[in-house]
C-alpha cells in the first residue's frame, strides 16, 4: 500500500499558475483548499475571490501541486503568495496554504517553492499562521520571529 501511495504521489508536480488560462484550469480544485484555510485559520483578511483577482492583477502568485493524469486535474496543495518589500531585502509572504495530505505535500514540494523564490531574488519566506500551521511549517525550516497581535475596533 505504501508503495502505491508513493507511485501516485510521483504524478504530482508544482505549477505556477502564471496566466489566466492556467489559473482557470486549476482554480476549481484550488478553491476548496484555500476556502478551508480561510475559514479555519484566518481572521477575515480576505476571501477566495480576492486571491483570484489579485493573482490576475499580478499582485499575488498561486502555485498548485497538481496531477494532470486524471480526467479532471487533481490539486493536492495550493499556495497563495505575495511579495513584501523591506528596505534591506524582499520577502515572499505565504498568504494562504491549503491541501490534502498537507504535511506530506509540504515536505515533498516546499523545496521547489523555495527554489523558485530564490531564482526570483527572494531572500526570505514569511507568513502569519494559526498555531496548528506553525508546527507544519517549522518542519520545513520556518522559525518564529514575532508574535502578531490584533485588536478589533469594530466590536464596540
Query: How far from 114 is each of 9, 13, 31, 124, 132, CA to CA, in Å?
Result: 20, 14, 23, 9, 22
Confidence of residue 8 (pLDDT cuts 50, 70, 90): low
Residue 156 lies in a domain: no
Residue 124 lies in a domain: yes
Is the distance from CB of 84 to CB of 126 less than 8 angstroms? Answer: yes
Query: Domain limits at 87?
Result: 2-138
Domain CATH number, residue 47: 3.40.630.30
Is pLDDT at 5 greater than 50 in this prediction? Answer: no
Residue 32 lies in a domain: yes
Residue 153 lies in a domain: no
Helical axes 20-41 vs 48-56, angle rounded to 10°: 150
Share above pLDDT 90 across residues of the chain, in percent, rounded to a whole number: 76
Number of domains in the chain: 1
| Predicted model pTM | 0.89
Determine how β-strand 124-126 pairs with β-strand 90-99: parallel
pLDDT in tens, 61-81: 999 999 999 889 999 999 999
Residue 146 lies in a domain: no
* 3-state SS track over 79-148: EEEEEEECCCCEEEEEEEEEECCHHHHHHHHHHHHHHHHHHCCCCEEECCCCHHHHHHHHCCCCCCCCCC
Is pLDDT at 28 greater than 70 in this prediction? Answer: yes
pLDDT in tens, 80-129: 999 999 999 999 999 999 999 999 999 999 999 999 999 999 999 999 98
Which residue's entry shows cell 519566506? 125
Is pLDDT at 10 greater than 80 in this prediction? Answer: no
Amino acid at each position: 500500500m505504501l508503495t502505491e501511495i508513493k507511485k501516485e504521489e510521483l504524478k504530482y508536480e508544482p505549477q505556477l499558475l502564471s496566466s489566466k488560462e492556467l489559473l482557470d484550469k486549476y482554480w476549481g480544485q484550488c478553491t476548496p483548499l484555500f476556502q478551508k484555510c480561510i475559514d479555519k485559520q484566518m481572521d477575515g483578511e480576505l476571501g477566495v475571490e480576492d486571491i483570484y483577482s489579485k493573482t490576475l492583477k499580478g499582485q499575488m502568485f498561486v502555485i498548485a501541486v497538481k496531477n494532470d493524469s486524471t480526467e479532471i486535474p487533481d490539486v493536492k496543495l495550493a499556495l497563495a503568495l505575495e511579495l513584501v518589500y523591506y528596505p534591506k531585502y524582499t520577502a515572499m509572504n505565504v498568504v494562504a496554504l491549503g491541501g490534502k495530505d498537507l504535511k506530506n505535500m509540504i515536505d515533498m514540494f516546499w523545496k521547489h517553492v523555495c527554489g523558485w523564490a530564490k531564482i526570483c531574488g527572494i531572500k526570505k519566506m514569511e507568513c502569519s499562521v494559526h498555531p496548528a500551521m506553525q508546527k507544519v511549517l517549522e518542519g520545513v525550516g520556518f522559525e518564529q520571529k514575532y508574535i502578531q497581535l490584533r485588536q478589533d475596533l469594530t466590536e464596540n
